[in-house]
Structure 1
Amino acid sequence: MYFLKKGSIIIIGSVFLSLGINLFLTPYKILDGGIVGLALILNYLYNLKVGLMIIILSMPIFIVAWFRYRTYFYNSLHGLLLSSFTIDLFKPFRSLIDISAVFSSILGGIFVGTGIGLMLRHRTSTGGTDLVAQFVSVKTGVNVGIVIFVIDITVIILGGVLISAHTLLLSIITLLVVGITTSLITRKIVHT
């Protein structure tokens, strides 16, 4: 029963994350933070597959997890692979919705934050910086959503070369909503 529940959460979280990215973020070249944000930058610049880039960029983090945090490695591997696959699978959905850019950034943040939060709440993740945030959260007691927010802002600032002032604003709105949504969903996690 435990594995069925965890598998269902990974699938549901991956779908939320994938819809958030493909329906709401990529049509306006809005960035998320962390590994996903870096993968989006590579997609916008070089048209590389977002999901594939997430896997490649997450490899160093997973190597560290293999040696130092084996439980996190196993708990996140399925989330990484399934969410990355789903993101690339849902790419054709990018032109389905036509809404304002601000509303799109808010909805994208809610969807991405919900997907990440659901997985983190059930001790799994998409890996990448979510995995780093889990490490930091366990060591410091700081809420996972807050740690993710700090990492994400850093990526957005680094991605500023790519972004216009309007897109930068939209990305900041998205990050705020992702951070708040993730924090609300993960706030009752008790670390042992």
Structure 2
Amino acid sequence: MKKFAVLLFSSVCIGIGVNMFIIPIHLINGRIFGISLLIKYIWGIKIGHVMIMINTPIYLLSLKYDKTYFINALLGLAFTSTIIDLLIPLNGLVHLPILTSAIIGGVIIGIGVGTMLRFHISPGGVDLLALLISKSRGINPGVVIFIIDSLIILAGIFVLRDLKLIYSFITISCVGLCVGLLNMFKSLHVYFR
């Protein structure tokens, strides 16, 4: 029951952050979400469908290394992909300046991703890789996510040739900070278990 509550809360946070704050201003937030958003902006394919296609090889890799993470990641992907697509009507509901949207969207997405990772659940491929790297190398998953996100945003700026995407660095910084903070203190993890 607790896992279901975590999945639902986290997926709704991610869905709100992506649909209400990131998509309307055409930013990307890195990770598989960012790659999926790039594909949506270029070809108009639904984000949830793209996430499933891109995540498949990463999930097969996780199955090889840790079956629990694999199962939790499948649940996270199913919930997140579905909720993101269900919350599409939120797109355009609010109109905020780009900087404000980048910050708020990043914080809300970061809370969702960070909460999932805290309970060893992953909403998508890069987050799953960050979780696996964090487990094997002892690196905070927020740092791993920030590095990968930066590379995806640089690719987005190059492919879309839109310097406005520089604001995406603010979004991923907020996501990385929230994920890092939510996964920093082991004592909190024991308290919430």
In which range does the TM-score fall when normalised by the shorter chain?
over 0.9
1:9 aligns with 2:9: no
Residue 49 of structure 2 aligns with which residue? 52
- Write out aligned runs for 1:31-46 (5 A): 31-46=28-43
Q: 1:157 aligns with which of 136, 154, 158?
A: 154
1:126 aligns with 2:123: yes
1:97 aligns with 2:88: no
Q: Which moved more, 1:62-71 or 1:172-181?
A: 62-71
Q: 2:73 aligns with which of 73, 76, 79?
A: 76
Which runs of 4 or more aligned residues in structure 1 lie more than 3 Å from their structure 2 counterparts after TM superposition? none
Paired amino acid for 1:84: S
Paired amino acid for 2:71: Y
| Aligned equivalents of 1:75, 1:128: Cα separation in 2 | 12
| Aligned equivalents of 1:171, 1:162: Cα separation in 2 | 13
| Aligned equivalents of 1:116, 1:163: Cα separation in 2 | 28
| Aligned equivalents of 2:160, 2:36: Cα separation in 1 | 13
| Aligned equivalents of 2:51, 2:109: Cα separation in 1 | 15
Paired amino acid for 2:176: G
Paired amino acid for 2:53: I
Q: Return closer, same or farther for 1:15/1:163 CA change in 2, 3 Å cut-off.
A: farther
Residue 62 of structure 2 aligns with which residue? 65
1:85 aligns with 2:82: yes
Paired amino acid for 1:78: L
TM-score normalised by structure 2 residue count: 0.93
Paired amino acid for 2:75: H
Q: Which moved more, 1:65-74 or 1:15-24?
A: 65-74
Q: 2:175 aligns with which of 166, 171, 178?
A: 178
Equivalences, count: 187
- SS at the partner of 1:95? coil
| Aligned equivalents of 1:137, 1:169: Cα separation in 2 | 27
1:24 aligns with 2:17: no
| Aligned equivalents of 2:175, 2:84: Cα separation in 1 | 17
Q: Offset at 1:189?
A: 4.0
Residue 108 of structure 2 aligns with which residue? 111
| Aligned equivalents of 2:65, 2:161: Cα separation in 1 | 36
Structure 2: which 5+ residue stretches go unaligned? Answer: none
TM-score normalised by structure 1 residue count: 0.94
CA contact (8 A) 1:17 1:112 kept: yes
